[in-house]
């Protein structure tokens, strides 16, 4: 595997890309007006676009299995960037006669991405993604850009310049993460990571590359998991040694008093809450893989929702750092993920957009006002809450846009009101059943309590000489 981020030489199998008009030695029947207007390059462009679109679902399915919060944040951002690429290039294909922007990915390439889902852990998956799949995608776009006629196709070239630059940066970021955390590189990952990346590379070669026309059977013959159905994990993955809880990670914290107590203590509780919103990115993102056949705009909105929730978790992480707290001091809060992932995808989407997100408006706006009075409107937590509420307003609007359409897509003929009530009842029942049997893994004496957080915040305020966290540094 090549670690270079420069476009690699084009694979010989890509020689037909893009198709150029060539004089034929045989007389040809004159093309009709409709055929003459078709742009032959469009057939070559839509292949990598379809591959990138399929990759969105692949990464979405895997966010819950990634272990490090940093890896989840990175994957959610990269997924969103791929979504913007596809959105721009779909529009461009729509401008090209014969573009077919929503054409399905060829089965042999879909089989490669389906196999990638069965990596056994974060490092093998990341190594295959950042050293095989993304370089292949970037190089396919670069091949198109370098071989199309630039002047007439300049709108495409303009888009692809940005796409190729972004993919190159992503490859660099992903490779740097793998090197730093796992000491793996594209040149020599070592162990299962390198072996899995070689396996995916072999499948891609069997598919004849992104521009080849190999038979799906050639790929499936080499797959290890052909015919296996991929499922999300029952509990989201975290770094080894993490502790899990079905209860709030601060011992003694009462939801009935959520964000209504001492603003200083509640600011720490808010940091924990926001950090644990990572679970939303983990149970929303699989919808990108699970739900088939919806309009493109639906996937665009779900990808944005996924990235927003990962950003909100980053908000909490930044607040923890500012307050002198660390995520590993607290248990991972699993209740919402564990109950939500057991729902059908369209039920889960209704739960988050019509139940969970609207519920936050019952507490966050009032707390925002109280906190601003207590510590000032320029406090970091205040600023982050403003953006959090803006994003959640957008997410609720997604529910208004898509929940009923999803119901019809799944053949559910109830009214939306009946359906949302059913989802709330189902989710509540799942939580009660799971909560009764869940065993917390952190010893009781190690758990943070309301009193330990209060003492910590008193020390923090005294050491800093102010209650305010600077919003900008």
Max mean pLDDT range (134-138, 270-274, 375-379): 134-138
Does residue 19 register a pLDDT over 60?
Answer: no
Kindly indicate the confidence band of residue 9, based on its pLDDT and cuts at 50, 70 and 90: very low
The pLDDT of residue 26 is 65
At residue 320 the predicted structure's pLDDT band, cuts being 50, 70 and 90, is: very high
Pairwise CA distance, residues 54 & 45, whole Å: 15
Residue 264 has pLDDT above 80, yes or no: no
Where residue 11 falls among pLDDT bands split at 50, 70, 90? very low
pLDDT at 32 over 70: yes
SS3 per-residue string spanning the chain: CCCCCCCCCCCHHHCCCCCCCCCCCCCCCCCCHHHHHCCCHHHHHHHHHHHHHHHHHHHHHHHHHCCCHHHHHHHHHHHHHHHHHHHHHHHHHHHCCCCCCCCCCCHHHHHHHHHHCCCCCHHHHHHHHHHHHHHHHHHHHHHHHHHCCCCCCHHHHHHHHHHHHHHHHHHHHHHHHHHHHHCCCCCCCCHHHHHHHHHHHHHHHHCCCCCCCCCHHHHHCCCCCCCCCCCCCCCCCCCCCCCEECCCCCECCCHHHCCCCCHHHHHHHHHHHHHCCHHHHHHHCCHHHHCCCCCHHHHHHHHHHHHHHHHHHHHHHHHHHHCCCCHHHCCEECHHHHHHCCCCHHHHHHHHHHHHHHHHCCCHHHHHHHHHHHHCCCEHHHHHHHHHHHHHHHHHHHHHHHHHHHHHHCCCCCCHHHHHHHHHHHHHHHHHHHHHHCCCCCCHHHCCEHHHHHHHHHHHHHHHCCCCCECCC
Instruction: Summarize the confidence of residues 34-54 as an average pLDDT.
Output: 91
Average pLDDT over residues 63-70: 98
**pLDDT digit string, tens, across residues 118-132:** 999 999 999 999 999
From the centroid of its chain, how far is CA 268? Answer: 27
At 27 the pLDDT is 64
pLDDT at position 253: 82
User: Tell me, what's the pLDDT at 261?
Assistant: 76
**What is the pLDDT, as a whole number, of residue 375?**
82
Predicted local confidence at residue 36, as pLDDT: 74
Reported confidence tier of residue 310, pLDDT bands at 50, 70, 90? very high
At residue 20 the predicted structure's pLDDT band, cuts being 50, 70 and 90, is very low
Fold of 244-464: Ferritin (1.20.1260)
Q: Average pLDDT of 206-210?
A: 96
pLDDT at residue 376 in the model: 82
Q: How much is the average pLDDT of 404-421?
A: 98
Mean pLDDT of the chain: 90
Per-residue confidence at 472, pLDDT binned at 50, 70, 90?
low
**Residue 458 pLDDT level (bands cut at 50, 70, 90):** very high
Tell me how far apart the alpha carbons of residues 222 and 215 are, in angstroms, rounded to a whole number: 12
Q: Which CATH number fits domain 35-220: 1.10.630.10, 1.20.1260.10, 3.80.10.10, 3.40.50.970?
A: 1.20.1260.10
Q: Where in the chain is the domain with CATH 1.20.1260.10?
A: 35-220
Residue-wise pLDDT tens digits, 345-400: 999 999 999 999 998 887 888 888 888 888 888 888 889 999 999 999 999 999 99
- Taking alpha carbons only, the member of 196, 26, 203, 218 closest to residue 126 is 196
Kindly report, residue by residue over 157-186, the tens digit of the pLDDT.
999 999 999 999 999 999 999 999 998 644
If we measure between CA atoms, which residue out of 248, 406, 398 comes closest to residue 308?
Answer: 398
- Per-residue pLDDT, averaged over 447-472, amounts to 89
Instruction: Using alpha carbons, select from 413, 398, 415, 406 the residue that is nearest to residue 293.
Output: 406
Percent of the chain with pLDDT over 90: 77
- Name the band, by pLDDT with cuts 50, 70 and 90, for residue 256: low
Position 251 pLDDT exceeds 70? yes
Torsion of the alpha carbons at 362, 363, 367 and 369, rounded to the nearest 10: -10
Place of tokens 């993102």: 285
């Amino acid at each position: 595997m090549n670690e270079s981020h420069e476009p690699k030489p084009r694979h010989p199998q890509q020689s037909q890309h893009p198709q150029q008009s060539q004089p034929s030695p045989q007389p040809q029947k004159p093309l009709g007006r409709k055929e003459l207007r078709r742009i032959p390059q469009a057939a070559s462009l839509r292949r990598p676009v379809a591959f990138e679109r399929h990759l969105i679902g692949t990464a979405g399915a895997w966010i819950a299995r990634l272990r490090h919060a940093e890896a989840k944040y990175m994957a959610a951002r990269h997924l969103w960037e791929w979504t913007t690429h596809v959105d721009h290039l779909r529009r461009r294909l729509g401008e090209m006669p014969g573009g077919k922007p929503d054409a399905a990915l060829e089965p042999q390439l879909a089989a490669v991405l389906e196999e990638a889902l069965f990596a056994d852990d974060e490092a093998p998956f990341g190594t295959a993604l950042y050293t095989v799949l993304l370089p292949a995608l970037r190089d396919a776009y670069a091949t198109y850009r370098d071989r199309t006629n630039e002047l007439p196709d300049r709108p495409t070239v303009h888009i692809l310049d940005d796409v190729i630059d972004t993919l190159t940066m992503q490859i660099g970021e992903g490779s740097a993460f793998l090197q730093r955390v796992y000491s793996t590189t594209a040149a020599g990952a070592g162990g299962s990571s390198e072996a899995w990346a070689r396996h995916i590379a072999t499948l891609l070669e069997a598919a004849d590359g992104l521009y080849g026309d190999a038979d799906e059977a050639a790929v499936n013959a080499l797959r290890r998991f052909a015919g296996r159905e991929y499922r999300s994990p029952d509990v989201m993955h975290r770094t080894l040694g993490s502790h899990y809880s079905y209860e709030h990670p601060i011992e003694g914290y009462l939801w009935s008093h959520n964000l209504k107590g001492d603003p200083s203590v509640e600011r720490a509780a808010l940091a924990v809450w926001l950090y644990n919103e990572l679970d939303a990115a983990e149970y929303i993102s699989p919808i990108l893989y699970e739900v088939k056949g919806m309009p493109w705009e639906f996937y665009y909105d779900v990808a944005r929702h996924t990235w927003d929730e990962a950003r909100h978790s980053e908000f909490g992480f930044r607040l923890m750092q500012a307050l002198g707290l660390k995520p590993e001091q607290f248990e991972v809060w699993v209740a919402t993920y564990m109950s939500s992932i057991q729902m059908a995808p369209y039920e889960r989407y209704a739960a988050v957009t019509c139940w969970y997100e609207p519920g936050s408006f019952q507490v966050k706006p009032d707390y925002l006002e109280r906190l601003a009075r207590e510590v000032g409107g320029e406090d970091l937590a205040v600023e982050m809450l403003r953006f959090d509420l803006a994003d959640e307003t957008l997410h609720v609007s997604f529910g208004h846009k898509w929940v009923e359409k999803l119901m019809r897509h799944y053949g559910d003929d109830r009214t939306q009101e009946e359906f949302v009530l059913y989802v709330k009842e189902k989710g509540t029942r799942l939580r009660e059943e799971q909560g009764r049997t869940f065993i917390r893994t952190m010893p009781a004496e190690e758990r943070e309590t309301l009193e330990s957080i209060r003492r910590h915040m008193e020390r923090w305020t005294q050491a800093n000489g102010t209650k305010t966290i600077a919003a900008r540094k």
